[in-house]
Amino acid sequence: MAAASNNTMIVDTPAEVLDARPGSRLMWPVEAVASILLVFVIGLLLAGVISRYVLSLPIVWIDEAASISFLWLAMLGSAIAIDRNEHLRLTIFLNLIPERGRDFVDALALLVVATVLLALIVPASQYVQEEWYVTSAALNIPMSFRASAIVAGLALMSVIAVGHAIRAATLANLAAAVAVIAALAVFGWLLSPLFLTLGYANIVIFLVGVVAVCLLLGVPIAFCFGVGTIAFIAFSTHVPMIVLVGRIDEGMSSLILLSVPIFVLLGCVLDATGMGKAIVEFMASLLGHVKAGMSYVLLGSMFLVSGISGSKVSDMATVAPALFPEMKRRGHKPKEMIALLATGAAMADTVPPSIVLIVLGSVAGVSIAALFTSGFVIAVVLLLVLAVLARWKASGESMEGVHRAPFSLVWKTLLVSAPALVLPFLIRGAVGGGVATATEVSTIAVLYALVIGALFYGGIGAKKFYAMLVETAALSGAILLILGTASAMAWALTQTGFANQLAIYMTDLPGGWFSFMLVTIAVFMVLGCVLEGLPAIVLMAPIMFPIAARLGINDVHYSMVVVTAMNIGLMAPPIGIGFYIACKIGDVSPDEAMSAIWPYLGALLAGLLLIAAVPALSVAYL
């Protein structure tokens, strides 16, 4: 599965960019517009915060203007992600295919993407026409100006996908891929009368089977959901396709999601300024002299850095290079370090400002403030579990030549890291205390990081900042398109009545609510392996949360179980993408690290079972 990193290559001239990627001659202005939109959205939200909290004069049209700009940013960012091949996808099975067959599969995957996009353009255009008759409340303009972003994005992405396919594939592979897709479409159309009579079996055929096959072929996750849902609606229902476009729009457009690109940008800023590294150095001076001290430093740094960036990739890339050399000197095996790094990242994903918690709150209707407060405590529970295992594992650690850092060094590193250490507590305190929303806090946090980074950590050059804006747009677009297509697929699934039948079955399980918790853990661990975190949440939350409510399970408690189970699956080999990211960052073979990670995953699972069994850990302090 390919995952975008927060580390962005800085290029010197437009010519180099054009040589680097197919389609980049088209993408250069798109990237510029997306960057401007991102800055505009942040500026709007900052203006809203200042007007509301400083001047006590709320500007009513800011949310509407930000929502319009946000959808355009998401669609243009999705197009940039296609051009850069940064959409999340599963590649582990694709790599097992012989090279000759892989070329055909790559061409087929690109054309599947193009097929999804082309199939949506006409209904998206109809959707824009219908939105013309809907007027925004504050700006008093037709909502078509906003919905047009969907058509523009779909058209741009389809051009890029087809262009990549033509450039990358031989004529024979291209023709064969077109023939396969056309044959399947004709086959589905001819069997449509049969599919209309199959009922729930269509869920297995389209929403499970088609999606699974596309995942194995390396089709990006967003488009796997898209092609499965399109086929399901087109061949087994009479629902017009325009409804699907509306569900995609709805899945991408929650105002809560405005904080996603801003927190992604915050992670980039922290990487570039070295604020995260300053925190690591302070933790090392404080705990590095004790037995298993460097393991504690790694876990503590992941906890604190995650509280700033909200990005697992950013967290691991910040912590590993700073700590691994000293850990190796003390006798830690590389595979053990990778295992601790990966599971530490899983532990820290509930620490605010976790993007996963923000998306879950948006999809399931759970208070973001409550999730942030509970997530902080749950991460502490998992941190303690991993720390106990790390202490046991460090029994043979060499402490030769290790001395307690002098107070002067501890004080110096504290002073250097203090501006960065303030940020996670500022974020959690403001959102958890109800002072500001996650979106408002995200804009303040970015401004704070930019100012503090410039004053204390060297600042960021104009070229680097522009590259960060483009990378943020691409990663945010990839995330938001997944949310849109997964929301459409979840809607299609609930419309069949399957969710109600599942709810009846689950509420009658022997063992009551805890049996349902065990089922939840198993489901989200598997989905975390296969789909990565956000798609699994968007797909399953509308189904599972109502069942949990029927069983009397607190929504915050259930959220903590869901997110933790998903993160364990995300780090579980042989499929979990987080495990492979950790191996890449630590430069360790996955085959070597695979044998070491299981005890750490077992420790996380023990902590998860404790969290599931004791609701007070999640909700007692809310």
List the beta bridge partners of residue 303: none
One domain for residues 247 and 333? no
Residue in the block written with tokens 């927190």: 263
CA dihedral for 93, 97, 101, 102, sign (positive or negative): positive
Q: Are 195 and 202 in contact (CB under 8 A)?
A: yes
- CA dihedral angle for residue 283, residue 284, residue 288, residue 292, rounded to 10 degrees: 70
Residues 408 and 555 grouped into a single domain: yes
* 305 in the same domain as 244: no
For residue 125, tell me if it sits in a domain.
yes
* Domain endpoint, select from 198, 224, 253: 253
Torsion of CA 297, 586, 535, 252, to 10 degrees: 80
User: Are 513 and 563 part of one and the same domain?
Assistant: yes
Kindly give, in sequence order, each residue whose CB lies less than 8 Å from that of residue 71, ignoring residues fewer than 6 positions away. 146, 147, 149, 150, 249, 252, 253
pLDDT of residue 437: 77
Is residue 26 included in any domain, yes or no? Answer: no
Read off the DSSP letter of residue 255: G
Q: Which amino acid is at 473?
A: A
Give the C-alpha separation, 550 to 573, whole Å: 34
Q: Are 548 and 558 in contact (CB under 8 A)?
A: yes
Contact 300, 287 (CB under 8 A): yes
| Domain termination residue (choose one: 205, 223, 253) | 253
Pair 208, 293 in one domain: no
Q: Which of 340, 348, 335 is nearest to 276 (CA)?
A: 348
Q: What is the pLDDT of residue 380?
A: 92
Q: How many CB atoms lie within 10 A of CB 511?
A: 10
Of 294, 303, 289, the residue nearest 325 (C-alpha) = 294
Q: Are 393 and 335 in contact (CB under 8 A)?
A: no
Contact (CB, 8 A) for 514 and 561:
no
Task: For residue 73, tell me if it sits in a domain.
Answer: no
Residues 6+ apart with CB under 8 A from 140: none
154 part of a folded domain: yes
Distance CA 569, CA 578 (A): 9
Closest CA to 86 of 30, 2, 1: 2
CA 71 to CA 528: how far, in whole Å? 27
Write down the pTM of the prediction: 0.84
Nearest to 261 by CA among 555, 469, 30: 469
Q: What is the reported pLDDT for 310?
A: 59
**Chain CA centroid to CA 424, Å:** 19
Same domain, 387 and 314: yes
**CA 250 from chain center: how many Å?**
18
Q: Could you give the CA distance from residue 113 to residue 157 in angstroms, rounded to a whole number?
A: 9
Q: Identify how many contiguous H helices and E strands the chain contains and give both numbers.
A: 28, 0
Residue 572, domain member (yes or no)? yes
Q: 432 and 352 in contact (C-beta within 8 Å)? A: yes
Task: Please report, for residues 46, 66, 258, 353, 410, the alpha-carbon distance to residue 439 in angstroms, rounded to integers and kept in the order given.
Answer: 10, 11, 6, 10, 35
CA distance 384 to 386: 5
Classify residue 483: in a domain, yes or no: no
Tell how far CA 195 is from the center of its chain.
34
pLDDT for the residue numbered 365: 87
Q: Phi, psi at residue 142, to the nearest 5°?
A: -60, 140
- Residue 523 covered by a domain: yes
Considering only CA atoms, which of 469, 576, 558 is closest in space to residue 513?
Answer: 558
> How far apart are alpha carbons 132 and 123 in whole angstroms?
14
**Residues in Cβ contact with 250 at an 8 Å cutoff, skipping those fewer than 6 apart:** 487
Residues 131 and 172 in one domain: yes
In terms of domains, do 306 and 277 share one? yes
Residues 184 and 309 in one domain: no
Q: Which residue has the tokens 């070295």?
A: 274
Q: DSSP secondary structure string, 326-374?
A: HHHHTT--HHHHHHHHHHHHHHGGGSSS-HHHHHHHHHHT--HHHHHHH
| Cα distances (angstroms) measured from residue 371 to each of 4, 424, 426 | 26, 15, 16
Sign of CA dihedral 436, 440, 442, 448: negative
Based on the domain organization, do 227 and 284 belong to the same domain? no
List the one residue out of 139, 142, 359, 353 whose CA is nearest residue 252: 359
Structural domain count of the chain:
2
Q: Within its chain, how far is the Cα of 203 from the centroid? A: 26
- What is the predicted pLDDT for the residue at 11? 30
- Which residue is associated with the tokens 């940064």? 86
The DSSP annotation for 73-112 comes to HHHHHHHHHHHHT-S----TTGGGS-HHHHHHHHHHHHHH
Same domain for 175 and 248? yes
pLDDT of residue 2: 38
Judged on CB neighbours under 10 Å (0-12, 13-18, 19+), 460 is buried
Question: Residue written as tokens 């699934």?
Answer: 493
The tokens of 548 are what? 């949990």
User: What are the structure tokens assigned to 197, written together?
Assistant: 């009579």
Within 13 A of 416's CA, how many CA atoms are on the CB side?
Answer: 20
Q: What is the domain extent for residue 422?
A: 273-394+403-457+497-620
Regions in the chain scoring below 50 on pLDDT: 1-23
In the chain, the amino acid numbered 507 is T
Q: Which of 253, 288, 311 is the last residue of a domain?
A: 253
One-letter amino acid of 226: G
Structural domain includes residue 62: no
Q: Are 343 and 306 in contact (CB under 8 A)?
A: no
Same domain, 351 and 217: no
